[in-house]
Amino acid sequence: MPDIRLKAASFGCTLSAICLFLWLISSATVALLVFSIGLLLYLVSHISYLHKLHLWFKNPVLKEMPEGSGVWEDVLTSLLQYERNNLSKEMQLSAALERFNLTADAIPDGLVILSPGNEIEWCTPRAESQLGFNLSTDKNLPIVNLLRDSHFIAYLYSNAFGEPFKLKSWRDPDIIFEIQIIPFANRQKLLICRDMTQLEKVDAMRRDFIANVSHELRTPLTVVGGFLETLSDMEGAVPKALKTYFTMMEEQTDRMRRIIEDLLTLSSIESNTEAPDDSKIDMAGLLKTVQKDALGLSQGLKKAEHKIHLEVDPTLNLSGSRDELLSAFSNLVSNAIRYTPKGGEIFIDWHIHHKQAIFSVRDTGIGIEQQHIDRLTERFYRVDRSRSRETGGTGLGLSIVKHILIRHQAKLEIASKIGVGSTFSIVFPKSRIIHKKVNMPA
Ligand code: ADP
C-alpha cells in the first residue's frame, strides 16, 4: 500500500503539472483558476470524508464504516483494522470474565475481596447468601458493619490469619462457617467462607463419642485404682513376690486415669464453641503460680532439680480465660521440666515484641529434631514414646495447648536444637493485650 504522504504528493504534483501545462498553452489566470478549483475540490472531498467519519463515530458499527478512496482509503482501512482488533480483544476479555464468574460461582465456598480498609470490594453470590450480603447495596461498606460478631472483628484486626476462624451464622446459629483470610496484592484481603455445618456435626459426634467413652471408663477405673490403693496400704495384703506386679498395676491405672482426664479436657475445649470469657488476667500473679507449680513438679520447693527463671513485663496484661491459659502455660512449663535432665535451666518469659505479647518457655533440655516439630500438636504424637511414658506424659498436652490458643487467636511457635534445648512461644494478638500502669517509686 503506497504511503499516504506519497498519495498526497502525487495529487499535488498532478495538479501542479496540469496547471503548468495550462499556463503554457493558455494564460496564468486560467492556470491559477484551475489550481484553485482543484484545491477546493480536494478540500471539499476531505471535509465530506471527515463528516462521514464523524457520523460513524456517533454509532460505530463495524459493518457500517464508510469506504474511501485516495488517502482516505488508507486511513479508513487502518481504522477498520484497529476496530477489528479491539473487538476481538474485547470479546476475549469478556469471555475470560464470563469464565471467571462461572468458576467463582461454581466454587462451593463464598469469596469476598476486602479493600485495605476492610470494605467489601467484590463477592460471589455464594458469599452473599452465606453471609447475608447484597453486593449491589453493600459494595464499599466496611465488612464489620455487616458481620458484627465481636470475635470475628478481633480476628480481622489481629492480622494473625494462620488459623481459620469459626463463625456462627447470624441467621441460623446451627450453621457454622469457617472463615479464612488471605492477604494479597496491595494490602487487600481475600476472605474465604466455607460451610462447615456437616463436618462440624460429624466432628461433634466423634468428640461426644470420645467424651462418653472416657466418662464411662472413669468410674470403673477409679474403683480399680481405689482397691489397688487400699490393698497396697493393707499390711501383708500383697504377697512380697507379687509386689512388683502390683506396683506396675498401680502405675498403669494411674496412667490410664491421666489419659482419660486429658481426653475429657481436650473434648470439652474442642466442643466449646462459645468464646472464652475475656477476663483481665494479672499475668505477673499468674506466672508466679506457674513458676511455683513448676518448682513443685521439679521435686519439691527446697531441692529443685532445675533452675526456673521468671522474667515478666509488669506493664503487660492479657484478656482471656484465666483457667484455660493457666493450663496452656503450665503444660509448656511442665514439658520443659520433663524433657530437661537434672540440673538444667528453664526460662519463663513474658514480654511484648512487635506489638504482640509473647509468652515463652526456653529449656536447656534434650531438644527435638526438626522433622517432628510440625506434628507435635497432633493427638498422641510423641517423639520418644518411652520417655514420654516414663515422665508421666499422655501425648495430649500440646493438643490441649493448641486448642486453647485457637480459642484465643494466638499461635504456638516452636524452635529447637537437639542436645541444646527448645523454646515454645505463644504469640498473642495485639487485640488481647491490656497495658497496665505501674507506679514508679518516687
Ligand atoms: P507428652 O505428654 O508426651 O509430653 P505433649 O503433647 O505434651 O505430650 O508433647 C508431645 C511431644 O512433644 C512429647 O512426647 C515430646 O516428645 C515433645 N516435647 C514436648 N515438649 C518438649 C520439650 N520441651 N523438649 C523436648 N521435647 C518436647
How confident is the model over 241-300, as pLDDT tens digits? 888 898 899 989 999 999 999 999 998 898 887 888 889 999 999 999 999 999 888 876
List the 188-195 sheet strands across, edge first: 120-123, 110-114, 188-195, 176-184, 165-168
The number of the ligand 1 atom at minimal distance from the alpha carbon of 394 is 2
Q: What is the pLDDT of residue 301?
A: 47
CA distance 287 to 326: 8
Q: What is the pLDDT of residue 437?
A: 79
| pLDDT tier at 329, thresholds 50, 70, 90 | very high
Beta bridge partners of residue 318, listed in sequence order:
281, 433
Q: Which three cell numbers stand for residue 124?
A: 460471589
pLDDT, mean of residues 48-67: 89
pLDDT, mean of residues 226-252: 88
The residue whose CB lies within 8 Å of the most ligand 1 atoms, and thus the one to mutate among 335, 383, 394, is: 335
Q: What is the pLDDT of residue 132?
A: 92
Q: What is the pLDDT of residue 171?
A: 83
DSSP 340: S
Q: What is the pLDDT of residue 94?
A: 93
| 392 CA distance to ligand 1 middle (Å) | 11
Q: Is the CB of 394 under 6 A from ligand 1?
A: yes
The residue whose CB lies within 8 Å of the most ligand 1 atoms, and thus the one to mutate among 388, 389, 416, is: 388
| 209 CA distance to ligand 1 middle (Å) | 26
| pLDDT tier at 391, thresholds 50, 70, 90 | confident
Q: Which three cell numbers stand for residue 333?
A: 512449663
Q: Is residue 119 scored above 50 in pLDDT?
A: yes
| 331 CA distance to ligand 1 middle (Å) | 10
Q: Reduced to 3 states, what is the DSSP secondary structure of residue 88?
A: helix
Nearest CA to ligand 1 atom 3: 395
Q: Which three cell numbers stand for residue 100?
A: 471467571
The CA-CA-CA angle for residues 396, 398, 403, to 5°, reads 95
303 or 90, which is more confident = 90
Nearest CA to ligand 1 atom 4: 393
Beta bridge partners of residue 166, listed in sequence order:
178
The residue whose CB lies within 8 Å of the most ligand 1 atoms, and thus the one to mutate among 382, 386, 422, is: 382
Q: Is residue 204 scored above 90 in pLDDT?
A: no
Residue type at 433 in one-letter notation: I
Q: Which three cell numbers stand for residue 442?
A: 518516687
Q: Is the CB of 363 under 6 A from ligand 1?
A: yes
Mean pLDDT computed over every residue of the chain: 90
pTM: 0.67
Q: 2: which residues sit within 8 A by CB, 6+ positions away?
A: none
- pLDDT one-digit tens code per residue, 395-421: 999 999 999 998 998 999 999 999 999
Q: Is residue 226 scored above 80 in pLDDT?
A: yes
Q: Is the CB of 336 under 6 A from ligand 1?
A: yes
Q: Is the CB of 328 under 6 A from ligand 1?
A: no
Q: Is residue 442 scored above 80 in pLDDT?
A: no
Q: What is the pLDDT of residue 240?
A: 84
Nearest CA to ligand 1 atom 16: 383
| 382 CA distance to ligand 1 middle (Å) | 6
Q: Is the CB of 388 under 6 A from ligand 1?
A: yes
Q: What is the pLDDT of residue 239?
A: 86
| 378 CA distance to ligand 1 middle (Å) | 11
Q: Is residue 389 scored above 50 in pLDDT?
A: yes
Nearest CA to ligand 1 atom 23: 336
| pLDDT tier at 236, thresholds 50, 70, 90 | confident
Q: Which of 224, 216, 218, 214 is nearest to 250 (CA)?
A: 224
| 404 CA distance to ligand 1 middle (Å) | 17
Report residue 166: phi and psi, to 5°.
-95, 130
pLDDT, mean of residues 3-15: 86
Residue type at 142 in one-letter notation: P
Dihedral over alpha carbons 209, 390, 388, 417 (to 10 degrees):
170
Are 34 and 18 a contacting pair, CB within 8 Å?
yes
Q: What is the pLDDT of residue 188?
A: 93
Among 71-80, 322-331, 339-348, 352-361, the minimum mean pLDDT is found in 71-80
| 325 CA distance to ligand 1 middle (Å) | 18
pLDDT more than 70, % of the chain: 98
Q: Is the CB of 366 under 6 A from ligand 1?
A: yes
The residue whose CB lies within 8 Å of the most ligand 1 atoms, and thus the one to mutate among 258, 261, 337, 398, is: 398
Other beta carbons within 10 angstroms of residue 233's beta carbon come to: 9
Q: Taking each helix axis as running N to C, give the angle between helix 71-106 and helix 4-25, from 0 to 180 degrees, rounded to the nearest 10.
A: 160
Q: Is residue 234 scored above 50 in pLDDT?
A: yes
